[in-house]
Amino acid sequence: MKFKNSCTALLFCLSIFTLQGQTLHFDRVEPPNWWSGMNRPFLQVMFYGEDIGSMDSLILDYPGVRLSQVHKMPNPNYLFVDLYFMDACPAGNISFRFFKAGHETDYSYPILQRDASLHANMGLKPNDLIYLIMPDRFANGNKRNDVVKGMRETDINRDSMYDRHGGDLEGIIDKLDYLQDLGVTALWLNPVLENDMPRTSYHGYAATDLYKVDPRLGDNKTYKKLAADLHGKGMKLVMDVVHNHVGAEHWFIKDLPGPKWVHEHAYFTKSNYRASVMMDPHASQYDKKKFNEGWFVKAMPDLDQSNPYLANYLIQNNIWWIEYAGVDAFRLDTYAYSDPKFLQKWSTEILKEYPKLFSFAETWVNGVQIQSYFHGNNGLKTTFNSKLPGLADFQLYFAITKALNEPYGWTEGWSRIYYTLVADYLSGDASHNVIFLDNHDASRFFSVVDGDMDKFKMGIALLMTMRGIPCLYYGTEILMKGFSNPDGLVRSDFPGGWKKDKSNKFNASGRSAEENEAFNYIRTLAQWRKSNPAIEKGKLMQYVPDDGVYVYFRYTDNHAVMVALNSNDKVKYLDASPLGERLSGYLTGTDVISGKKITNLGTFTLQAKSALIIDLSK
């Protein structure tokens, strides 16, 4: 293939060219634009359209950009073009000139100026509170986008857990004041990208276009507005990213670029879902291959990230959304199932561009040692380093939910939490793990504790004061219920998110006394923890649980918070003498929930089935 270079700025152009008397358009050009001044100098642009790969030559002329290489695919409908950006590259439009059989076609590719203000407060900290929302089930702010013509799923049925209900981004934007009042500082939405699947597309995990917000949720501009409105309130946006799979109706699945874009099998092969094979020194290659290359379900083709073109495509897509919308953090879905070399490359490339970006991975595995393997910089003797600052801490989730539902014992009750935290030595910095009591896949917490308000409050107290970054699932604050059998039962609509709802639990007047009790308990802790230095920067010290009482501290050199939990059905009196190591130098404290001053730090009265949280003062 011949390529002509301009002696000036070394660039290339493309768009539409004439082939056998017909003018053909590029159906896709991705990323749709890029930015000047990026730290990452390499960009691979994918052009897609009928027989595009049969072009003869390509010329690009633009200051500060050099055409490095052009790659033809086995499928002639694809062309991948490598660009190299020099420091002096200005904003403007790259003109690509494609030649085919003597015909020339130009394509104007936008290079935009970066907006550094979008990334001013990027990242998450331990004093943040994440709020997880399934957009289709939270609030309907725009009924006009409930049904979108031309999409495969066209009905709204709120009586079905599998159908779309109509929640959208505008509905979420309308409720930002509610979330801010609750104490939320970061918003994590289940995937918002287009899921043009025939059925059950509401959850967002079967994308059919990675550069487009699902029209039933809004559009790209609305997503960008959500990020801007959050930033205006001092809040942050967490984007849910899926590298492992896409939906079977994704446009590139319908016309694959070539082999090794997805994991192909002679017959449908499911993953064995055993992440343990990744670090098992005795694992068979058969089991490893089945874990990484097996599919979740037939509707979600398993991507092969060992393909360098796909790897670049996914990395650039994630960078594009950060740069376009001002995303502050990523949650990485089904993390362990992707190609390990890709995962390390992904972290390297993302952190090179955004050193302050926070990413945490879903690692729904069994065993602390298996979870720790995926934590960045863990110091373990393995060849894998995710470089991730945090993980979704399923092991602590398992421990908390079990501890609250069983009597205290040597390994039961609070001892489960104690031993889970002991294993933090296997991780990197566990203070950046994301901790939770429920989520979109797990049974709702209030149901897990059998509607016991005392247990509910103890769980919330743990969530808000434990090491890590807490995540609250939408509706937990109003005691929404449901067991994940099936998972649609934990994805109910937030009452009041639709105009015709019988009750509106976004307002105190629409909530029951018990719901307001739960809301206010969470709100008190959430607002308090935002500015507490021991929560933001403090270490954790725990004491061995004894007789159903568990005590731990969050502390810095100058500040400390004491948490004492009593799982017994009767009052317990706690002698503070064993706690002198942490209480030394402190004279008084404040009960965070009641606001009462505590002047005696020698003995503490722990009410039955309760949490005592004391903000200590010198």
Residue-wise pLDDT for 549-581, tens only, equals 999 999 999 999 999 999 999 999 999 999 999
Confidence of residue 602 (pLDDT cuts 50, 70, 90): very high
**In whole numbers, what is the pLDDT of the chain averaged over residues?**
94
Name the token pair of 13: 């152009």
Structure confidence at residue 206 (pLDDT): 97
DSSP string, 404-416: TTS---SSSTHHH
Statement: residue 269 has pLDDT above 60: yes
> Across-strand partners of 82?
44, 69
Closest CA to 213 of 172, 185, 178, 174: 172
Structure confidence at residue 120 (pLDDT): 85
Structure confidence at residue 55 (pLDDT): 86
Statement: residue 586 has pLDDT above 60: yes
Neighbours of 87 (CB within 10 A): 8
Closest CA to 241 of 189, 277, 289, 164: 189
578 vs 574: CA distance, rounded Å: 10
Q: Are 224 and 167 in contact (CB under 8 A)?
A: no
Name the token pair of 550: 């568990």
Report the amino acid identity of residue 134. M
> 3-17, 101-115, 134-148, 394-408: which has the minimum mean pLDDT?
3-17
259 vs 73: CA distance, rounded Å: 10
How far is CA 494 from each of CA 161, 442, 502, rounded to the nearest angstrom?
Answer: 13, 17, 11
Name the token pair of 264: 């192909």
7-28 pLDDT per residue, tens: 333 333 333 334 444 454 799 9
Name the token pair of 184: 């939320």
Whole-prediction pTM: 0.95
Structure confidence at residue 311 (pLDDT): 98
Confidence of residue 116 (pLDDT cuts 50, 70, 90): confident
Statement: residue 321 has pLDDT above 90: yes
SS3 call for 421: helix
53 vs 78: CA distance, rounded Å: 6
Closest CA to 195 of 148, 139, 242, 249: 249
385: number of CA atoms within 13 Å, CB side?
9
Structure confidence at residue 1 (pLDDT): 35
Q: Are 406 and 439 in contact (CB under 8 A)?
A: no
> Across-strand partners of 188?
132, 238
Closest CA to 602 of 585, 579, 570: 579
Q: At what angle do helices 414-422 and 394-403 cross, to 10 degrees?
A: 160
Structure confidence at residue 524 (pLDDT): 98
Confidence of residue 498 (pLDDT cuts 50, 70, 90): very high
pLDDT > 90 fraction of the chain, expressed in percent and rounded: 91
151 vs 528: CA distance, rounded Å: 45
Structure confidence at residue 251 (pLDDT): 97
Quickly tell me which residue has 């979740």 as its tokens.
Answer: 296
Domains and CATH numbers, the chain: 11-114 (2.60.40.10), 539-617 (2.60.40.1180)
Structure confidence at residue 15 (pLDDT): 38
143 vs 131: CA distance, rounded Å: 24
Exposed, middle or buried: residue 453 (CB in 10 Å: 0-12, 13-18, 19+)? middle
**What b/e sequence results for 120-132 when a residue is b if at least 16 CB atoms lie within 10 Å of its CB, and e otherwise?**
eebbbbbbbbbbb
Confidence of residue 597 (pLDDT cuts 50, 70, 90): very high
Gyration radius of the chain's alpha carbons: 26
36-93 pLDDT per residue, tens: 999 999 999 999 999 999 888 999 989 999 999 999 999 999 999 999 999 889 999 9
Contacts of 160 (CB under 8 A, 6+ apart): none
Residues in the chain: 618
Structure confidence at residue 104 (pLDDT): 85
The residues annotated with a catalytic role in the active site are 333, 362
Name the token pair of 328: 């502050």
Contacts of 171 (CB under 8 A, 6+ apart): 135, 138, 139, 140, 141, 142, 497
List the end-to-end C-alpha distance of the chain, in Å, as a whole number: 75
DSSP string, 336-372: GGS-HHHHHHHHHHHHHH-TT-EEEEE---SSHHHHH
Confidence of residue 441 (pLDDT cuts 50, 70, 90): very high
411 vs 100: CA distance, rounded Å: 72
143 vs 426: CA distance, rounded Å: 49
Name the token pair of 501: 């709802």
347 vs 344: CA distance, rounded Å: 5
> Across-strand partners of 42?
84
193-235 pLDDT per residue, tens: 999 999 999 999 999 999 999 999 999 999 999 999 999 999 9
Structure confidence at residue 295 (pLDDT): 96
Statement: residue 4 has pLDDT above 60: no
